Structure 1
């Protein structure tokens, strides 16, 4: 049984603004807003419209940012041009101000801000008539609205126009007065930080939250800490000091703990688990009448968009090949008994892939982990052609319903694979520890940073890091540069792939490594190989006997090509040889990791100068 989720409510006159074009659509109910709210019950309904805005997929744009970063690949790796045109635009970095999904993202965030300003205006309207005993509840509602206004401005600042975006700080019902110029990055940062700082004293601690899904002091502190971390990458040492203190506070004082029950990682049973800081509570228990592409609906499309074809997924959000291989090659801790599997015959063997890899991805050789209602059976012989799905070798697991015992995503979601009720965790304690490790490394506190990373590695029963012996070169000690390299290209992407708000592309950009990263990846050649494995019947029989350890170990279905590479593209395709991120390497500098202000905004906002 899923935990009760409070947020979704039926739209009413109190939720007054739902137009697609937030800037130029009139709002016929706007004059009635202040007349319609009389007490805290009314303002709480307006506040719920702010929470409803989280359901819009373009608030986080997980699908699009998968392709903008280095963690995502097109589902046909040899011929990526066969993908959806907008996926190709983001993958090749050829998007521009007219790209539809950029406009949708901008509009989603500013609609959310409009709702927050409505809520704040309603709260100001009723305050003069409140009893003193109601002021605490009033402050708590106001703090929630301030959190969202700050967070949405922070999201816009982090991904659009070098941080120079429009500050919208008042409720403006008059469509003719919505034109406004962009503000400097520094002014935007100061604005949303003040909102967060004003909100934090009145938000509840995580243990005190009245309803699952309400925002807390921890969530607001997380956004504030990330904003300072991002600023520290500009060389601001004071911002680094502030980020460190906030991440330490999140680690020590909020009651968050790493979830050690792996069955509660990226599963429905693990919603609002012990390390969750900010989480979107989707549901498919109601709202069935709303279309799967209605951005006000309380369900999400991510299970299908990221899921594997064998289980009725659409295979859109494919993991990059380097990422798959990094998961496969991350060494487990052989001394940890969690990694020892006892077969039905009483013999013992070691897990084929790590618990982290198994939790994050569907992998061909992860024969120890059943998925959906049976064994993990993916891609036997899939390299035998160039069809659109011939080269699908994996899939992201964390947004799918692989844990519900259903046969596939259609069954798991009541007949519609695009209506998943699985929550989306935006921020969790692992991110805190990794960001704190970065702060420590930058301050020269190498062992302290390693300690934070090892907390995460120990949870997954991975081989811990040791300062004096690199995992990849045991005869060499780590130093500041090599630890940052490991954080950037192993620890953080493997732990947080496909999570958060644009986390990976922001990281690559602020670290100053994006262009070189895409260039390096584009020069790697991979070859798909036939995946030798037993058939479904053999695996099913083995599962009945116990964990699948008696079957011959599977071989990787991708290898890195060394030596001569066929000269022609046709020869490469015949031999299943491919590259990734060629377009990213060529085009990243067009926007340098940012999105442009949409053309629609420039067209309708008289104060935007493009």
Structure 2
């Protein structure tokens, strides 16, 4: 699918645009009528329409990874501590409003995808009685309904406490565009019907390599389970999560070859459930700001020294947690050469090494020419860099990419199996199965060689020996397991989690009171020479009087500014309010 996504996109240039529509536009010949009446005559054409649904997901604003990292407890904007800079500051400080471009464009991008899905659905309905290949027709319909359901789900979980516009047909008049919002309950019922259809009619797995990346029944099950979890419907959610985890037809498994996680080599690995396919081969003529481009801008989330622009820097608390994750000393992967013929424990966990660049990491290669310890700059009081979206594994600098640092071909994984395990663990906690929840959490931790949680079950691994109850295990999931495993991933995962757990205000208040500082870090390089990385090692606590560091604090303004009624959900965008007279009672 990665190499075929663009093949048919050009066939549908007449049907790919639907942002805020006005009266002048509607006075023109409606291109959607031409497409619906004349274009949809064969399954080859409907397949071309299905492909445009995958290209819809290329739009950065659908996931809004950067702003949602900043408004949660995950990301620091730009550089220049203690004074953050750039257009992400409004998110970090909780001062965004309904005219913010990221809010406007997310709304538009999601409804553009819904528009495309409705065109495919209506086209398929018109040809239903005349096609011979019923299975193929059904699959196309399932893919179209999956994306229509998915995008309504995204809108529901992001905007206006779930009260959004349901669009289930191709609009042909001003009245069709200017619909009122529906209740949250109505929206849930609508998108679940679409996702259930997809779940029942999509294949468990695609058989040919050319179809790699197409959504499956397992993808639909994951989104359905997530939607039930978000509504605290734990029993229903578990049905889908158990299917995803245990159904051998899907072929999902937690990847243990850690070179295949968050790397270019690991695209479409066995843990990936839903993945957006980017590349640098197709449509190279489109610039980085064109949301139809096949490349993404997320390579610019690492250190500035490597042309990565510091797009999302990790905040202090999560860096400190990664830095101090306890290892399973009985896992041989955690023992490495000490350079003197013996062995030593890794300085940081395998999970930390995969997800974040830390000065303590003397094992992982970073931008090809040395270890993270040697390579990462750690200037400007920076103490870590996210690695998930950068190309540190294939180039010496992001500037070495064929079209520069603004254009990355690295895929973006939206849903993966580890998250399903942790959502399943939450359901088990909430329904009283603590042992089952520990098993689910430990399945993820074991993959990383981390110390397991709970009372010891055997002597093959280290356990922390804590007897958890539902409250303490839920706290571990909220503040340790889920954020460290899923940092800056997926569709607003951390923000939605914080909101539904009711911890946002408390979280900002608590984090704003924590103090950190950085100190010099000494290490021995490959030639045996002791070197110093100035002000690179993060320490929690009060800054010593003789330190050259600044006091590092996060979320002081967010703690003052956050108001649930304003910030918990995106507001309906100003552009939609101004053009849609039926939103007066939204």
Q: Structure 1 length normalisation: TM-score?
A: 0.88
Q: Secondary structure at the match of 1:277?
A: strand
Which residue number in structure 1 is paired with residue 305 of structure 2? 310
Cα distance in 2, alignment partners of residues 214 and 381 from structure 1: 36
- Are the equivalent residues in 2 in contact too, given 1:509–1:592 (CA < 8 A)? no
Flag the 1:160–1:441 CA change in 2: closer, same or farther, 3 A: same
Which residue number in structure 1 is paired with residue 509 of structure 2? 519
Cα distance in 2, alignment partners of residues 4 and 603 from structure 1: 38
Which residue number in structure 1 is paired with residue 47 of structure 2? 44
Q: Secondary structure at the match of 1:462?
A: coil
Structure 1 position 46, deviation (Å): 1.5
In structure 1, runs of 5+ residues without a counterpart are 233-238, 384-388, 543-547
Structure 1 position 159, deviation (Å): 0.9
Which residue number in structure 2 is paired with residue 580 of structure 1? 554
Which residue number in structure 1 is paired with residue 291 of structure 2? 295
> Does the alignment pair 1:281 with 2:256?
no
Cα distance in 1, alignment partners of residues 376 and 199 from structure 2: 55
Q: Secondary structure at the match of 2:581?
A: coil
Cα distance in 2, alignment partners of residues 377 and 243 from structure 1: 40
Flag the 1:606–1:465 CA change in 2: closer, same or farther, 3 A: same
Q: Deviations over 1:282-325 (max 9, x none)?
A: 11112110001100011111111x12222211112111110011
Cα distance in 2, alignment partners of residues 449 and 204 from structure 1: 29
Which residue number in structure 1 is paired with residue 398 of structure 2? 409
Structure 1 position 473, deviation (Å): 12
Alignment of 1:420-439 (within 5 A): 420-439=408-427
Cα distance in 2, alignment partners of residues 217 and 176 from structure 1: 35
Structure 1 position 17, deviation (Å): 3.5
> Does the alignment pair 1:152 with 2:151?
yes
Cα distance in 2, alignment partners of residues 130 and 330 from structure 1: 57
Cα distance in 2, alignment partners of residues 272 and 42 from structure 1: 26
Cα distance in 1, alignment partners of residues 283 and 376 from structure 2: 41
Structure 1 position 400, deviation (Å): 1.0
Which residue number in structure 2 is paired with residue 248 of structure 1? 242
Question: Which stretch shifts more, 69-78 or 240-249?
Answer: 69-78
RMSD: 2.7
Flag the 1:223–1:474 CA change in 2: closer, same or farther, 3 A: closer
Which residue number in structure 2 is paired with residue 483 of structure 1? 473
Which residue number in structure 1 is paired with residue 15 of structure 2? 17
Structure 1 position 255, deviation (Å): 2.3
Q: Deviations over 1:258-301 (max 9, x none)?
A: 00101101111111111111111111112110001100011111
- Are the equivalent residues in 2 in contact too, given 1:532–1:555 (CA < 8 A)? no
Question: Which stretch shifts more, 501-510 or 10-19?
Answer: 10-19
Alignment of 1:561-572 (within 5 A): 561-562=541-542
Which residue number in structure 2 is paired with residue 138 of structure 1? 137
Which residue number in structure 2 is paired with residue 73 of structure 1? 76
Q: Secondary structure at the match of 2:539?
A: strand
Which residue number in structure 2 is paired with residue 235 of structure 1? none
Which residue number in structure 1 is paired with residue 216 of structure 2? 216
- Are the equivalent residues in 2 in contact too, given 1:382–1:530 (CA < 8 A)? no
Structure 1 position 249, deviation (Å): 1.1
- Are the equivalent residues in 1 in contact too, given 2:369–2:375 (CA < 8 A)? no
- Are the equivalent residues in 1 in contact too, given 2:357–2:376 (CA < 8 A)? no
- Are the equivalent residues in 2 in contact too, given 1:315–1:392 (CA < 8 A)? no
- Are the equivalent residues in 2 in contact too, given 1:382–1:390 (CA < 8 A)? no
Structure 1 position 13, deviation (Å): 5.2
Structure 1 position 4, deviation (Å): 5.1
Which residue number in structure 2 is paired with residue 55 of structure 1? 58
Q: Secondary structure at the match of 1:279?
A: strand
- Are the equivalent residues in 2 in contact too, given 1:276–1:427 (CA < 8 A)? yes
Flag the 1:575–1:108 CA change in 2: closer, same or farther, 3 A: same
Q: Deviations over 1:173-209 (max 9, x none)?
A: 3355310000000000000001111122210112546
Q: Deviations over 1:388-412 (max 9, x none)?
A: x6122211101111111x211121x
Q: Deviations over 1:11-50 (max 9, x none)?
A: 4353323447343355752231121221111111122111
- Are the equivalent residues in 1 in contact too, given 2:279–2:408 (CA < 8 A)? yes
Q: Count the aligned residue pairs.
A: 573
> Does the alignment pair 1:596 with 2:585?
no
Cα distance in 2, alignment partners of residues 518 and 365 from structure 1: 28
Q: Secondary structure at the match of 1:529?
A: strand
Flag the 1:119–1:88 CA change in 2: closer, same or farther, 3 A: same
- Are the equivalent residues in 2 in contact too, given 1:77–1:578 (CA < 8 A)? no
Structure 1 position 166, deviation (Å): 0.5
Alignment of 1:89-488 (within 5 A): 89-131=90-132, 134-175=133-174, 177-206=176-205, 208=207, 211-232=211-232, 239-253=233-247, 254-304=250-300, 306-342=301-337, 345-377=340-372, 390-404=380-394, 406-411=395-400, 413-467=401-455, 477-488=467-478
Cα distance in 2, alignment partners of residues 211 and 318 from structure 1: 35
Q: Structure 2 length normalisation: TM-score?
A: 0.92
Flag the 1:71–1:128 CA change in 2: closer, same or farther, 3 A: same
- Are the equivalent residues in 2 in contact too, given 1:365–1:554 (CA < 8 A)? no
Q: Deviations over 1:130-161 (max 9, x none)?
A: 23xx1111110000000000000000000100
Cα distance in 2, alignment partners of residues 475 and 461 from structure 1: 16
Q: Deviations over 1:213-271 (max 9, x none)?
A: 11100000100000000000xxxxxx211011211111101321100101101111111
- Are the equivalent residues in 1 in contact too, given 2:234–2:427 (CA < 8 A)? yes
Cα distance in 2, alignment partners of residues 508 and 292 from structure 1: 32
Question: Which stretch shifts more, 344-353 or 472-481?
Answer: 472-481
Q: Secondary structure at the match of 1:156?
A: helix
